[in-house]
Structure 1
Amino acid sequence: MSSALAIAGITQVLKDLLNDGIINNITTATGTTVTVTALPPDKIEDAGEQTQLNLYMYQATVNQGWRNEGLPVFTPRGDRVSNPPLALDLHYLLSAYTGGAELHTEILLGYGMQLLHENPVLTRDAINKSLSPPDHVDLDGLPPVLRALATTGLADQVEQITITPEVLNADEISKLWTAFTTKYRPTAAYKVTVVLIQSVKSTRKAPPVQSRNIYVIPFNEPVVEEIEPVPATGEPSLPQQLVFSESDLILKGKRLWNDTVMINISGIQFPVMGMGVTGTTIQLKLPEGLKAGLQSLQVIHPVAMGTPPAAHNGVCSKVQAFILSPLVIDNPIATGTAPEGKFKGSIKVKIKPMVTARQEVQLILNGLPPATGAYTFSYVAADKNGPPVDELTIPVSNVAPGTYLVRVQVDGAESPLETDNSTKTYNSPAITIT
């Protein structure tokens, strides 16, 4: 691979190629001395303009064929593991300048284009000849730039360098020369590809793999179609039943059975086994530590892999969701006063599961006849980094005296209300405010 000096090395090789051809062919035709330069167009002065060919690299682009070659440069920990090459295409403009002599511009540009056409590949010998000093010349006696170019390694890169004409329309040429802020000169465009620049920084290599484990297993993906709470003994299974922290769940679907079945609920992974697992159903008890709100559930069929064998997540079902509802324990207690007929104070609510300090909590009050008001109050934990709690003290104000049904909403999941079997109306949990 080449070093970062390869771009300058390419320009020098092209310049030598043009210079040798012009000395052999053009000097006699023009009757003047012709030089080859590699300058920006705006650096070539109009006054006293010499007869010359100018080669200018105006753009470098990433080579599409090599851009994805090689391994990633860094590991997730930031260790350098490889030095993939920087592959570049170089874009040149070949322009002809004369001191005003008629037809000299066309002669110069014609010979320059013919030379590049006849040498579409820069051979390794040509590169070495241009960049390496002759045997009788001491490297230390060269100018610093030429000494540096002798170490590019350009001739040793794995892919040879090619020269291809590029077609630029009048608009593109006009934009380029406008950007150069100088007068237009007859120009031909070329692409030189590919230059491979590679770093020599040290990398970290892992030791070779001692043994390889290859596993072939049937792709028998479990499918979860329904998630329902197990009804209490003697009670029917009703649609849209709520799930609480002490509920048992039954999963219904296809291809659920496996020698080992793991369940992942919101990041908590645990095994289920025994008679509770069949091909179409899995019965399980919710793990401790779940928070009220939206939960994710996934069935996993682990596979033992590695040396020694260790369980890995093998085939997994798609993630399904269910709501874990909070449950108000006993009737809440109100503490406060009612100046001018409006209650101000706090309501203490015991709740399950415990609520973390960063969950969004609301207290909802709905009046029972004769009270008709409805109120909503937010709970904000005093310490956002505090431990989970099972008792909330929620400040309330401007509440009319009366009896109210109480609900608590945690991260969008609401606690249920109980129904009077005789009247079929909600009756608890409730609180009386005086």
Structure 2
Amino acid sequence: MSNVLAIAAATRTLRNLLLTQMPALDNELSDLEVTLQPPDIARKGISKAQLNVFLYQVVFNAAWRNMDMPGRTRPGETAQPALALNLHYLLTAWGRGDTDSDAISHRVLAAAMSTLHDRAVLDGNDIRNALPDNDLADQIERVRFTPLPQSVDDISKLWTAFQTNYRVSSAYEATVVLIDSQAPARASLPVLKRGAQDRGVIDVPSTAPTLSSLALPHQQSAARLGDDLVLGGSQLTAMNAVVRFESLRLDAPVDVAPVAGDVAGTLRVHLADPVQDADAPTRWTPGIYTLSLLVQSPDLPALISNEIPLALAPVITVSPLTAPAGTVDLTVTCMPRLRDGQRVFLVFGDQLVVPTTVTQPGDLHQPSSLAFKVAGVAKGTYTVRLRVDGADSIPVDFSGSVPAFDGNQQVVVS
């Protein structure tokens, strides 16, 4: 690659090449002068045959822009790619004097184009001699000049920008100039061990399980502690597997071991209630979960399924169950316990009521307690639900032959 002198080195090498080669092609150009000025001032003070080389545009080279330089980085290492540039030059010709009656400008331009046609690739020695301390000749890619076709509209816009009269010209593109990045490269340490026992890559001849369905008891919209869930899908197994429940409200996921379902290809998962698991009040929290099946066979990488959503409903008690009309004060307990930041509402009939207080008993096995004040309640029977992060308690009693509203979650106002 090359240093920041690369653009100047390319321009100076091009000028020197044209200045030495063009007179050899046409004896009439023995007094030729090659300049590097903007077109609007290039002719000032000059009356002999002249070729002006003007770098009018520098663009990124798409092919090299994001490519690591060979020899600089190895697999696993990262480094900033080189600054890869294409240089656009405009070659403009003048004859002798102001009239150019002998069309010398045409011979100047023809000699310049012939030179670049025959010597399109810059010679390394010419580059080194063109500018001290430049190392453009040492870059991995050679610098090549190719004609850059321009439409009449392109030419018009270009010379309008120069704010000078148009002269016979030709555009060329020089590709590619690679300026080395000064940002440090980062190299990784050698690999000493591939995996826990230096076994390298492990190929598991099976696919991960896929969950496609979740069945809840009594076709409920949410599960409760104490319920059995039935998972359906493909590649399901209870061997070396856990069902992982994850929630944004929990510090760690809850893993529950499944068992084979009653139907082939299904799994059954039991959510232990506080009677079966004394830590259930704090292990869980009401709200929205995602669940997935994690299979961890000995000495093999874990296989994990897709995630499916689950709402875990709070189990509540309501007190009192009777109250006079007007303002009703209620106390509701919630199991499992609530967590900080959860959004909690009481759905009293068709009203949403926010709690006035939330109490967390010091005994972690006890449920959360919430106080609500419901104003302007008329006589009637009101079904009560607790909504936690979008998961509603289930106010239905399924113990009978026909589902009915649970009387323990109804308040009679008289």
Q: TM-score range by the shorter chain?
A: 0.7 to 0.9
Structure 1 match to 2:53: 55
Matches within 5 A, 1:2-401: 2-25=2-25, 28-29=27-28, 33-44=31-42, 51-70=49-68, 81-98=78-95, 99-102=97-100, 103-131=103-131, 150-212=132-194, 213-229=200-216, 231=217, 238-240=218-220, 242-257=222-237, 260-266=240-246, 268-269=252-253, 276=260, 280-286=265-271, 289-302=283-296, 312-313=301-302, 315-327=303-315, 329-332=316-319, 342-343=326-327, 347-366=330-349, 374-378=350-354, 390-401=368-379
Cα shift at 1:291: 4.1
Q: Residue by residue, what CA displacement relative to the aligned partner does 1:1-26 show, whole Å, maximum 9, x if unpaired? A: 11222122211211221222234445
Q: Residue by residue, what CA displacement relative to the aligned partner does 1:51-101 show, whole Å, maximum 9, x if unpaired? A: 432222233333222233239xxxxxxxx9424322222222222245423
Q: Residue by residue, what CA displacement relative to the aligned partner does 1:271-290 show, whole Å, maximum 9, x if unpaired? A: 55585589823333458644
**Ranges in structure 2 where 5+ consecutive residues have no aligned partner:** 70-76, 195-199, 272-279, 359-366
Q: Does structure 2 retain, via aligned residues, the 8 Å contact 1:125–1:155?
A: yes
Instruction: Give the 3 Å change call, closer, same or farther, for CA 258–375 of structure 1 in structure 2.
Output: closer
Cα shift at 1:243: 0.6
Q: Does structure 2 retain, via aligned residues, the 8 Å contact 1:62–1:89?
A: yes
- Paired AA for residue 280 in structure 1: G
| Partner Cα distance (1:225, 1:182) in 2 | 72
Q: Does structure 1 retain, via aligned residues, the 8 Å contact 2:16–2:130?
A: yes
| Partner Cα distance (2:356, 2:181) in 1 | 55
| Partner Cα distance (2:240, 2:153) in 1 | 69
- Paired AA for residue 118 in structure 1: D
SS of 1:364's equivalent in the other structure is strand
SS of 1:195's equivalent in the other structure is strand
Structure 2 match to 1:408: 386
SS of 2:57's equivalent in the other structure is strand
TM-score when normalising by structure 2:
0.76
Q: Aligned-residue CA RMSD in angstroms?
A: 3.7
| Partner Cα distance (2:33, 2:357) in 1 | 81
**Ranges in structure 1 where 5+ consecutive residues have no aligned partner:** 72-79, 132-149, 232-237, 367-373, 383-388
Q: Does structure 2 retain, via aligned residues, the 8 Å contact 1:361–1:380?
A: no
User: What number of residue pairs does the alignment pair up?
Assistant: 376
Q: Does structure 2 retain, via aligned residues, the 8 Å contact 1:164–1:190?
A: yes
Q: Does structure 2 retain, via aligned residues, the 8 Å contact 1:81–1:204?
A: yes
Q: Does structure 2 retain, via aligned residues, the 8 Å contact 1:333–1:349?
A: no
Cα shift at 1:38: 2.5
Instruction: Give the 3 Å change call, closer, same or farther, for CA 320–36 of structure 1 in structure 2.
Output: same
Structure 1 match to 2:197: none
Q: Does structure 1 retain, via aligned residues, the 8 Å contact 2:64–2:84?
A: yes
| Partner Cα distance (2:402, 2:238) in 1 | 48
Instruction: Give the 3 Å change call, closer, same or farther, for CA 241–359 of structure 1 in structure 2.
Output: closer
SS of 1:354's equivalent in the other structure is coil
SS of 2:336's equivalent in the other structure is strand
SS of 1:264's equivalent in the other structure is strand
